[in-house]
A = this chain, B = another copy of it.
Amino acid sequence: MNIGFIGTGVMGTGMINNLLKANFSVTVYNRTKKHATNVLENGAKWADSPKEVAQKSDLVITIVGFPKDVREVYYSDKGIFAGIHSNMILVDMTTSTPKLAQEIAKTAEQKGIAALDAPVSGGDIGAKNGTLTIMVGGKSNDFERAKPILSVMGNSIKLFGSNGQGQNAKMANQIMIAGTMTGMTESLLYAQKAGLDLNFLIDMIKGGSAQNWSMTNYGPRILQNDFAPGFAAKHFLKDLRIALSTAKEMGLNLPATQEAEKLYKKMVEVNNLGNLGTQGLIKIY
């Protein structure tokens, strides 16, 4: 099976390298070609547009930045839909809106091909190690066809429902993380101001009912002044905005998540720290 892959950022690079290691033929495209150097050296083939990727592939994976980038990659003149052929599967692994996932699926259906939304969690390390969690929306038989390829990139792959439900599962995940990140940040700030030993506190929190992945993993990085992105704050802000606008469309008000969005907005758009990891939130208080 020939695989197409659009988006050779930090995530895409790890995922493509795992596909290459599993002996798949992979044709790639990226807006900035130099970011594809690593995978091209490892055996991926270059195409000059998403259209050309689609023409050369049976299954096309996309993982780009924002919903507008997804739209461009699928719908522009040189986009994926301009290069499709029968029996194809399109898999968008960008964290994007449930609505756009449904729109892409509808277009694909009208053209007689299949589409899945399959956003991931697990960060750059999960992408590199092939241990991503992949949350899928789409038809069951399309899911089964794509699963052997997804299994090369992730170790927990779940079909959550129809098209868009992969994105919704990812949103529920990000809303949870909004809680652990804001809680961790304010807990550490309080403890620091009170003069507590923060290593001691992090260690204690690990063993009790306040325990969470963010404190265990990001707490020590913050104490070492390590704000490099596992996951860039600008992308988390995007995710929170998709979650909140989708919630609003469903008639749901999420005040704690709104507060998290305000804080990350301040970090990204006022303090211009969007390229730091999400743990950099502590810098804006």
For residue A223, which residues in chain B have a CB less than 8 angstroms away from its CB?
Answer: none
Per CB-CB distance, the 10 closest pairs between chain A and chain B, nearest first, are A179-B183, A212-B212, A182-B256, A168-B194, A176-B210, A172-B191, A176-B187, A211-B213, A259-B259, A175-B187
Apart from A122-B208, A168-B196, A212-B214, 10 more pairs, CB < 8 Å: A156-B204, A161-B196, A169-B191, A177-B183, A178-B183, A179-B179, A179-B212, A193-B251, A194-B250, A258-B259
A184 within 8 A of B: yes
Partner pick for A173 among B177, B200, B208, CB 8 A cutoff: B208
A209 within 8 A of B: yes
Task: Please tell me if the beta carbons of B247 and A133 are within 8 angstroms of each other in the complex.
Answer: no
Q: Contact flags (1/0) for A184-209 with B, using CB distance below 8 Å?
A: 11111111011111001100110111
Count of identical protomers in the assembly: 2
The number of residues on chain A lying at the interface, defined by a beta carbon within 8 Å of a beta carbon of chain B, is 71
For residue A18, which residues in chain B have a CB less than 8 angstroms away from its CB?
Answer: none
Task: Tell me, rounded to whole Å, the shortest Cβ–Cβ distance linking A207 to chain B.
Answer: 6
Residues A255 and B262 in contact in the complex (CB < 8 Å), given A172-B196, A187-B175, A194-B165: yes
A253 within 8 A of B: yes
Task: Please tell me if the beta carbons of A98 and B187 are within 8 angstroms of each other in the complex.
Answer: no
Within 8 A of B (CB), among A98-119: 98
Task: Tell me, rounded to whole Å, the shortest Cβ–Cβ distance linking A71 to chain B.
Answer: 21
Task: Please tell me if the beta carbons of A169 and B210 are within 8 angstroms of each other in the complex.
Answer: no
For residue A210, which residues in chain B have a CB less than 8 angstroms away from its CB?
Answer: 121, 173-174, 176-177, 180, 213
Output the nearest chain B residue to A183 by Cβ-Cβ distance: B179
Residues A193 and B247 in contact in the complex (CB < 8 Å), given A179-B183, A210-B176: yes
Docked complex Cα distance between A177 and B256 (Å): 13
Q: Contact flags (1/0) for A238-256 with B, using CB distance below 8 Å?
A: 0000010011001111111
Task: Please tell me if the beta carbons of B204 and A191 are within 8 angstroms of each other in the complex.
Answer: no
A67 within 8 A of B: no
Task: Tell me, rounded to whole Å, the shortest Cβ–Cβ distance linking A161 to chain B.
Answer: 7
For residue A259, which residues in chain B have a CB less than 8 angstroms away from its CB?
Answer: 255-256, 258-259
A161, A174, A189 — most chain B CB neighbours (10 Å): A189
Task: Tell me, rounded to whole Å, the shortest Cβ–Cβ distance linking A116 to chain B.
Answer: 16
Partner pick for A191 among B168, B177, B184, B194, CB 8 A cutoff: B168
Task: Tell me, rounded to whole Å, the shortest Cβ–Cβ distance linking A102 to chain B.
Answer: 12
Task: Please tell me if the beta carbons of A211 and B212 are within 8 angstroms of each other in the complex.
Answer: yes
A24 within 8 A of B: no
For residue A276, which residues in chain B have a CB less than 8 angstroms away from its CB?
Answer: none
Task: Please tell me if the beta carbons of A252 and B190 are within 8 angstroms of each other in the complex.
Answer: yes
For residue A190, which residues in chain B have a CB less than 8 angstroms away from its CB?
Answer: 168, 171-172, 175, 243, 246-247, 250, 252, 254
